[in-house]
Amino acid sequence: MRPNQVLLFIIAVMVCLGALCMVLPGRVAWRGHELRWPTLAEVTGTEAETSETSETSEVSEVSEESENPEGSEGTEGTKGADSVPAQEPVVIPKIQIDSTLDSRIYLRAFYASLPEAAERVVRVLHYGDSQIEEDRMTLQIREHLQARFGGTGVGLMPLAQTIPSRTVRQELYMNRRKVNPYHGPQRYLSYASREMQRADGKYGVMSQMALMADSLVPGSEEITAVCIPQTASAHYTRWQVFADSSVHYTFSGDTVRLQGRGAVYGLSQECEQGIIVDNIPLRGCLGLVFTKTDSAQLADFYSGQNVRLIIMQFGGNAIPFNEKPGTIQAIVTGLREQVQYIKACAPDASILFIGPSDMLRQTEGEWQTYPMVPYMDRLLQKMAQEEEIAYFSLFRWMGGAGSMARWQATGLAGSDGVHFYRSGARKAGNAVAEWIMEGMMD
């Protein structure tokens, strides 16, 4: 076709589509499905003012720049709300918090313990969901604290490391044959399906354990784990194994050999004095599992290992599947119970809660912040104030509603609108670490 013919064809197609947009509404139901397309006003921009008011009010009003972000309205629907023709408004309750409070005052016990690091270990535990997998975020907190107060090693890791870490590469052998960690010893996790849970709550401090027993996995009475540091900061001066007394072990370089029948709650590459920061990711977890773990086990570890700071980073996994304020309230109530449980098990430790980041979903073909993200963030901050624990808002630090889109555009976050890339996790981890360090008294 000649250029002028191509141009005429394009113009004809645009005229036909414009006519359809004028005659038909922006959505129609067809065979049980809803078809959508932009209206003529949306395409030409003549609806810009009204559409911005109606469609982006959720994002602008829930922004942390607003006076009352919790007072905005969201939308209620089911999973896959894009397919729901009509949505009922949800009134998000207002939340009163003390915006002038610097919650780092609740880290006083941790700050006071830091001079001890010159002579003994001061331990920090970082629990979280998939946002901290691979030692993400934790790595930066560890590097900042160890640079100032000393210490080496990455601390705790499971006997069967099913999720690779950036800082330690693990190889697992049973009866001298290399095995996939998933095919290694029987594992039990407090945050897994029911068949992988224990009735007695004996999960240990990592909320998971591996059981060495030939009756469950042939060959698991003899296990060798080779754990090779991948970064300079991962080098260590000593091993620890947390296991039943019936399990015997020896060390040789980066290798630990275990024999016997019993539970192994974790391995640790660490130091004689200084700071140890343990990365404990619980994939897919809401954070409501600590009360499932035997309190005596937790208390013994927290006390015996001089744990002085416990970081809890949860909440994000609740967002995609819950669009009612009442459900979010119930989850935060459950998280409050976990905080209280940990406080009872670790009375000498400070607690820091890190809230969820901004999270996006597609609505009307556009990426928008889930309406419950700012609400959960404020609820968690209120809970933290009432429980007298520190709180760091990832959501507000990122820039509030819609900030995840900017992170995606700059290569800091993934296309799912939820997870950070490693570069984003590094930036967030540095921010948390610097925030903690800035609160220290000289």
pLDDT(71) > 60: no
What percentage of the chain exceeds 70 in pLDDT?
Answer: 82
Domain ranges in the chain are 1-46, 102-151+272-442, 155-270
**15-56 tens-digit pLDDT:** 766 665 665 555 544 444 445 555 555 555 444 333 333 333
The angle at the Cα of 340, spanning 338 to 342, to the nearest 5 degrees, equals 70
Average pLDDT, integer, range 257-268:
97
Both tokens of 227, joined, read 């754990």
**381-417 tens-digit pLDDT:** 999 999 999 999 999 999 999 999 999 999 999 999 9
**196-225 tens-digit pLDDT:** 999 999 999 999 999 999 999 999 999 999
The answer to whether residues 437 and 148 touch, using CB atoms and an 8 Å cutoff, is yes
pLDDT(8) > 80: no
- Look at residue 144 in the predicted model and tell me its pLDDT: 97
**322-338 tens-digit pLDDT:** 889 999 999 999 999 99
The answer to whether residues 128 and 317 touch, using CB atoms and an 8 Å cutoff, is no
What's the whole-model pTM score? 0.81
The answer to whether residues 354 and 136 touch, using CB atoms and an 8 Å cutoff, is no
Number of Cβ within 10 Å of residue 102's Cβ equals 9
- Look at residue 73 in the predicted model and tell me its pLDDT: 27
Q: 102-151+272-442 falls under which CATH superfamily?
A: SGNH hydrolase (3.40.50.1110)
pLDDT(4) > 80: no
**101-117 tens-digit pLDDT:** 999 999 999 999 999 99
Tell me how far apart the alpha carbons of residues 377 and 358 are, in angstroms, rounded to a whole number: 10
